Amino acid sequence: MTDTELTKAPGSHIPDTVANAAATPDREQPYGALGLKEDEYLQIREILGRRPTSGELAMYSVMWSEHCSYKSSKMYLRQFGQKVNDEMKKNLMVGMGENAGVVDVGGGWAVTFKGESHNHPSYIEPFQGAATGVGGIVRDIISMGARPVAVLDQLRFGAFDAPDTERVVHGVVSGISFYANCLGLPNIGGETIFDPVYQGNPLVNVTSVGVLRHEDLHLANAKGAGNKVVLFGARTGGDGIGGASILASDTFSSGGPTKRPAVQVGDPFAEKVLIECCLELFRDELVEGIQDLGAAGISCATSELASNGDGGMFIELDKVLLRDPTLTAEEILMSESQERMMAVVRPDKLDAFLAVVRKWDVETSVLGEVTDTGRLVINWHGEEIVNVEPRTVAVDGPVYERPVAYPSWIDELQGDSAAGLPRPEEGDDVRGQFLRLLSSPNLADKSWITNQYDTYVLGNTALSFPDDGGMIRVDEESGLGFAIATDANGRYCQLDPAQGARLALAEAYRNVAVTGATPVAVTDCLNFGSPENPEVMWQFSQTVEALSDACLEMEIPVTGGNVSFYNQTGTQPIHPTPVVGVLGVIDDVAQRIPSGWQDEGDNLYLLGTTSLELDGSAWAGTIHEHLGGRPPRVSLAGEKQLAALLRAGASESLIGSAHDLSDGGLGQALAEAVLRFGVGARVWLDEIVERDGVDVATALFSESTGRVIVSVPREDDVKFRGLCEGRGYPVARIGVTDKESASLEVQGVFTVGLEELRAAHRGTLPARFGATIAE
Amino acid sequence: MPTIVVEVMPKAELLDPQGKAVTGALSRMGRQGYHEVRIGKRFELTVDHVDDAVLAEVKELADDVFSNSVIEDVVSITVLDNTVSA
Amino acid sequence: MPTIVVEVMPKAELLDPQGKAVTGALSRMGRQGYHEVRIGKRFELTVDHVDDAVLAEVKELADDVFSNSVIEDVVSITVLDNTVSA
Amino acid sequence: MRIGVVTFPGSLDDRDAQRAVRLAGGEPVALWHGSHDLDGVEAIILPGGFSYGDYLRAGAIASLSPIMTEVVDAANKGMPVLGICNGFQMLAEARLIPGAHTRNAHQQFIRRDQRLRVENAATDWTTGFTQGQEITIPLKNADGRFIADDETIKRIEGEGQVAFRYVGVNPNGSFDDIAGVSNERGNVVGLMPHPEHATEPGFGPDTPAAMSSGVDGLTFFTSVIQKALVK
Ligand SMILES: Nc1ncnc2c1ncn2[C@@H]1O[C@H](COP(=O)(O)OP(=O)(O)O)[C@@H](O)[C@H]1O
Ligand SMILES: [Mg+2]
């Protein structure tokens, strides 16, 4: 039986009432088709003391889905809340569990940020899937009382050359571009990776950041009996019915049309109006509590608002404004129509509320009110179709301790190090490999994508791509701002998920630090295969444990995040891909540091040391199609030290540019820094080779952590060296900027002219996806 | 050369933001009596000739290329009299 | 309720980049015999009733609102039999 | 000088235009699409964005707004009006300037720092430039391709109504590389690139001197203010 049969079949439009459910205890119910297991269904019967009505079944099934209930991940995610010290709590206004975490950034300002996945819909319908992914995370941000001010997108596609990749890339990128540009949100960063492991299951994660004054903070709760419950925004339609449950609880490899849910169609214009409308409602203090409607729609909003508040709510479901009048009560409960919000409004403020909503031409209906009964009661044309304790739907869903198994293949994989692969010695060979890396899809310039994103809108973007982190001014008076970067390396995580998680955190942290900002908080978006696969569950448990420990060690709290399971093609799970986002604060964005040099004659320094760490590297993958061994080591204390050093340098304006070393190593970082403003450099590797005991290829391609190249104006040289020595961080002068040369010269190894560098770096994506007119 | 016209509309149960925006504009302009406006696409294909094979291929293209079956329906495929210009 | 269909096409002498892209896609897919694809819009208006006044108003709206005469032509205005769903 | 900036549902760069007016020394006044009140302003900016989602045609639905009746009226009486991006599209849809806009020839939204040549330094919004001056202004749009029939193009070329032309790269397939157009009188100017995003050091386009330091856009706003002072 399919979900439509459920909602249309028994008695067709005559809804299944509570009385009816009590009277017909033995009626068979299609819980299986809705993604519920038998024991879950029995648990629902036990909670209710009767069989659920079809409306209740619809609600429980969507709310108890993996996507909404976190039933497989909950017991692990607790660690993020537990492994915190006072330092980490200091600036946290709202922690995990709310729509998004909120961080005090000083001056009465706060920043809220969160990442979310929209992976499965983006494979079925890339444009709408990605677009509504932006819409969903932005509504999370609004519902905290914040004005959304930026987005970032983390994209992982199948093999660069695979035929289907082009469809997905075009759809996803234009979907994100369309929705975020139309909302007027600058896109300030992200990631783009191609790997066959994502072929049938691309990852589309979107992060959004919002800004608010402390007093504007809003929470999703329904308090105060008698307060009105209002649904506003777009009308409810048949979008994504059952999506939350069907999508998130099963894979859809070749599963035929029955598992194909209707996707949601987004309307960014409606969302833009909704944002302005909500901000005006907040400003005029017209809402008590607010919740966005995302997965599980009205089921989720009513049960969560009620559970977080006084516990009771009465709703007349037939008051919901419909786009399609034939929708049944169950479909309305499950609909995932976009661009909707639910607010709790005091009766004496209702008129003022409605006036604001009308001003923005937003459609509204008052559905019911908050009660003190402790029950969520939903009527349909006067008949009671839902009567539940809201916590049982929204909070106390099933929690699983899924079996965990150490992967049978991992020892062998880890034993297969890249250290033994042949490394080039001759200058020409090194040059050739350097250029191959620079033009490889994962390391190539991403401006084919980012040129489709607005960065200027709102007028506060201080840094965006291709810099390491995005940066936004929060306060026009003081220049106070935040920086943000997100990172994950699925290849490292496949080799060692715990180490991969630490590395993702370290890289995002470093990417924020090189902008001159101080890292203060973390969000994550954990993309994994099926939790029913014990080896995947092991990867997941390793990841969360390591990430929470690492955050404790670095003293930055995880403020929220998202888990996406069932990312696999057939039975082949994706590489574990925990995207980690780090938020930083900077007192004045005028002190920001770009990732490349612009001036003549600056000295180039490499901070940190290099060792033979090529396992899992871009070099091993691109040159040798190799994945094996152990990912690089990382010292979290060292990363903190490095960040503090950069901050000190930034605040004294000693640093002209700073670029962190990651995928592709020093060679890649040098090329990017040269191309940033088109200013060449002369570089020598002798000191690194000698001090660190590595060969030239290792010096250029190793992915050792804790490293950054900085450029320092001549006049600040002494001060800068003093700073490094004082802090005891390893530093070596490796070169000097050279405008005249119009090239990157690695002395005694190779020289590549600016034009050749640019062509290698920029040509790859346009050659595959179609030329754009920019350059 | 003959022209084949393929017409595609957004699925009725899904949101049609374009149509919604136009419906709103009409009512703001004070135009009464327009309950709903929906906006779809009209494709005009100029082809060498029309026969059953061509029509079958166009039908297939209409479903796979010109429309996205997840969100749209092909509502008609017609052959334009090529002596009349569209 | 009856439906009035208004169809709008880009002017023949202007480049239709969307249509051109589809034409290109067809030829890349190896589909022969499609000389040109042009993409226009189809508006479906659900109205209370149809009479001459309504049709005259729709004609006016078609020219002033649904199309921009600098770049588009209204190619047809038809009334759909309301018993047949589009 | 009081300069009105109209906010339509879906306007995005309205507050940025207000900021630019302020940075140029003017007083920005927020105007609302649904009203017929111009609040005594002396010049008007129609800002960028996706008014009404640009769903019918870019700028089309906004051009039917109540305030546009007043804007058209004031423009015809000589009030300076600047349409930026979506505002340019509204001016064309409202027939205040000739031509129309279609989807970019390459079909994608494009953002880039765009070189422009000032082709007419005599309009109300360009007197601070010199004829032929090259400037860099951020561009970001999906429906930026300016088109008109041959006759119109010939006319506006001949009458100096082409205010700005793309230099180096034509980013959207606009006819004759036209980036901006004025009406005959020179008080109404529309252009695709966004001068308001090149007005504040640190947040503008890169220049050879320093990143994000480009402020070429400021001259649009100082020009109109200067002109009002002279009057
Ligand atoms: N999909 C995307 N959206 C936005 N920005 C992106 C995207 N992909 C890459 N970028 C940007 O391109 C630049 C280079 O990316 P990457 O090499 O992954 O950076 P890093 O190695 O510093 O993490 C960064 O500024 C990054 O934010
Ligand atoms: Mg980086």
Q: Which domains does chain B have, with CATH numbers?
A: 3-80 (3.30.1280.10)
In tens, the pLDDT along D137-186 reads 999 999 999 999 999 999 999 999 999 999 999 999 999 999 999 999 99
The rounded distance, in Å, linking the Cα atoms of A408 and D56 is 57
Strands C3-10 and D81-84: unpaired
The alpha carbon of residue D59 is apart from the nearest alpha carbon of chain B, in Å, by: 12
Average pLDDT over residues A293-313: 88
List the one residue out of A728, A737, A734 whose CA is nearest residue A699.
Answer: A734
The rounded distance, in Å, linking the Cα atoms of C53 and A752 is 73
CATH of residue D66's domain is: 3.40.50.880
Is the pLDDT score of A773 beyond 80?
Answer: no
Look at D111 and A451 and tell me if their CB atoms are within 8 Å.
yes
Average pLDDT over residues A319-332: 88
Q: Does C25 touch chain D (CB under 8 A)?
A: no
- How much is the pLDDT for A252? 34
**Spacing, Cα D145 to ligand 2 middle (Å):** 36
User: Among this protein's residues, is D93 annotated catalytic?
Assistant: no
Is the pLDDT score of A269 beyond 70?
Answer: yes
Q: Does D109 touch chain B (CB under 8 A)?
A: no
Which residue has the least CA distance to atom 16 on ligand 1? A191
**Spacing, Cα A767 to ligand 1 middle (Å):** 19
Q: Does A406 touch chain B (CB under 8 A)?
A: no
Residues A290 and A367: beta-carbon distance below 8 Å: no
- Confidence band (pLDDT; 50, 70, 90) for B15? confident
Nearest CA in chain A to D138: A456
Kindly report the backbone phi and psi dihedral angles of residue B54, in degrees, each rounded to the nearest multiple of 5, phi listed first: -60, -45
Dihedral of the alpha carbons of D123, D124, D129, D132, in degrees to the nearest 10? -10
Nearest CA in chain D to C68: D93
- Confidence band (pLDDT; 50, 70, 90) for B86? very low
In tens, the pLDDT along A66-121 reads 888 899 999 999 999 999 999 898 888 877 666 678 999 999 999 999 999 999 98
Chain C CB contacts of B54 under 8 Å are: 33
Please state the atom number of ligand 1 nearest to the C-alpha of residue A443.
17
List the one residue out of A475, D42, A272, A477 whose CA is nearest residue D31.
Answer: D42
Amino acid letter at A655? I
Strands D162-166 and D145-147: unpaired
Query: What tokens does C11 get?
Result: 């002017």
- Confidence band (pLDDT; 50, 70, 90) for C24? confident
Quote the distance between the C-alpha of residue C65 and its chain's center: 13
Q: ipTM value, please give it.
A: 0.92
Q: How many domains does chain D have?
A: 1
DSSP A52: P
In tens, the pLDDT along D21-30 reads 999 999 999 9
Angle value at C-alpha A579, between A633 and A449, nearest 5 degrees? 115
**Spacing, Cα B82 to ligand 2 middle (Å):** 59
- Confidence band (pLDDT; 50, 70, 90) for A1? very low
Average pLDDT over residues A176-185: 97
Chain B CB contacts of D53 under 8 Å are: 17-18, 21
Query: What tokens does A585 get?
Result: 């604060």
Average pLDDT over residues A135-144: 92
In tens, the pLDDT along A372-397 reads 999 999 999 999 999 999 999 988 88
DSSP A456: S
- Percent pLDDT > 90 in chain B is 52
In tens, the pLDDT along A201-217 reads 999 999 999 999 998 88
Tokens 């304006």 locate to A653
Instruction: List chains touching C (3+ CB pairs under 8 A).
Output: B, D
Average pLDDT over residues D13-24: 98
Residues A550 and A502: beta-carbon distance below 8 Å: yes
Return the H-helix or E-strand segment holding A18: helix A18-23
Q: Which of B10, B13, B68 sits opposite A324 (nearest CB)?
A: B13
Query: What tokens does A75 get?
Result: 């017991």
Look at D210 and A273 and tell me if their CB atoms are within 8 Å.
no
Nearest CA in chain C to B66: C22
The alpha carbon of residue B49 is apart from the nearest alpha carbon of chain A, in Å, by: 30
Tokens 């819980």 locate to A31
Task: Please give the model's pTM, rounded to 2 decimal places.
Answer: 0.93
In tens, the pLDDT along A342-372 reads 999 999 999 999 999 999 989 999 999 999 9
- Percent pLDDT > 70 in chain D is 100
Is the pLDDT score of A286 beyond 50?
Answer: yes
Q: Which domain holds residue D68?
A: 2-230
The alpha carbon of residue B59 is apart from the nearest alpha carbon of chain D, in Å, by: 25
- How much is the pLDDT for D152? 95
- Percent pLDDT > 70 in chain A is 94
Average pLDDT, chain A: 91
In tens, the pLDDT along D50-93 reads 999 889 899 999 999 999 999 999 999 999 999 999 999 999 99
Three-state DSSP at D178 gives: strand
The percent of chain C in helix, strand and coil, each rounded to the nearest 5, is: 30, 35, 35
